Amino acid sequence: MNSVALVRNGRVPGTLEKLVDSATGDLLRHATAVARAGEAIYRAGDPSEDVLMLREGWATQVVQLDSGRRQILRVVLPGDFCSYRMVFSPTLDFSIRATTRARYSRFERAGVKLLLVTRPAAFEAFGSAILDEDRRLTDLVVNLGRRTAKERVAYVILSILERLNVEGLPAAGPIPFPIRQTDLADMAGITTVHTSRLLADYRRSGVFALSRGELHLLDRRALERIGRL
């Protein structure tokens, strides 16, 4: 599983990111780009010859419906490929949108494929990341189809926390969590108004609180009982 090790002054690169970086300049051609908060890093249906890896900031995989409604499939964290499908396909059926200011790398698809073929450690790390993404998509279907709204919100929070390996931060301190109420609603498949009410209920009951891009986790056991990852 790809996780982000958060420390006081940033993060520790994950295994796959280290392996990709070690091949840059040898097997991989590399370029860097920046997206503003809310800007599209990739638009659904657009052909791309590159595989994108997020380096700084947060992003989301988003399906936009004709009605204007949307479903967020996954949060993209630093060290993630924006989509692992990009290694094999020039187009995706969802967009990648920056949640915060985001810096990302562009690698030629052919070079990434060569890396996976020639370096077993990279192949194993990539395979592990794909399996983790597939498991999370299965969980998303169950979450949207069978859980209550309250359980859905708890699940979304827990699923992101599971990927944030928090080290060197105060145990009771806030965790960087730049997810807005509208994003949370679109992850849980409920309205923004309903999400706001649930967040207020979670805060009053002493489970967690979201404020200004930070998560104050007050009772993780209670959250886990509700969210049941």
Secondary structure of the chain in the HEC alphabet?
CCCEEEECCEEECCHHHHHHHHHECCCECEEEEEECCCCEEECCCCCCCEEEEEEECCEEEEEECCCCCEEEEEEECCCCECCHHHHCCCCCCCEEEECCCEEEEEEEHHHHHHHHHHCHHHHHHHHHHHHHHHHHHHHHHHHHHHCCHHHHHHHHHHHHHHHEEECCCCCCCCEECCCCHHHHHHHHCCCHHHHHHHHHHHHHCCCEEEECCEEEECCHHHHHHHHCC
Pair 69, 168 in one domain: no
Pair 87, 174 in one domain: no
Please state the pTM of the whole predicted model. Answer: 0.90
Q: Is 132 buried (19+), middle (13-18) or exposed (0-12) by CB count in 10 A?
A: middle
Is 2 a domain residue? no
Tell me the percentage of the chain whose pLDDT exceeds 90: 77
Pair 111, 171 in one domain: no
Domain CATH number, residue 160: 1.10.10.10
Binned at pLDDT 50, 70 and 90, residue 7 comes out as low
Predicted pLDDT of residue 29: 86
d(CA 31, CA 105): 6
Asked if residue 139 has pLDDT above 70, the reply is: yes
Pair 108, 199 in one domain: no
d(CA 21, CA 30): 9
Tokens, residue 34:
């920046």
Tallying the residues shown for the chain, one arrives at 229
> Which of 121, 181, 177, 187 has its CA nearest to residue 152?
187
Binned at pLDDT 50, 70 and 90, residue 166 comes out as low
Query: pLDDT by residue (tens digit) across 66-84?
Result: 988 999 999 999 999 999 9
d(CA 109, CA 85): 11
* Domain interval for residue 173: 147-227
Is 6 a domain residue? no
- Partners of residue 51 on adjacent β-strands: 107
- Partners of residue 4 on adjacent β-strands: 164
Query: pLDDT by residue (tens digit) across 9-56?
Result: 567 788 889 999 999 888 888 899 999 999 999 999 999 999 999 999
Q: What is the CA radius of gyration of the chain?
A: 18
Pair 162, 112 in one domain: no
Tell me the percentage of the chain whose pLDDT exceeds 70: 92
Give the chain's domain count: 2
Pair 112, 17 in one domain: yes
Tokens, residue 141:
């279907």
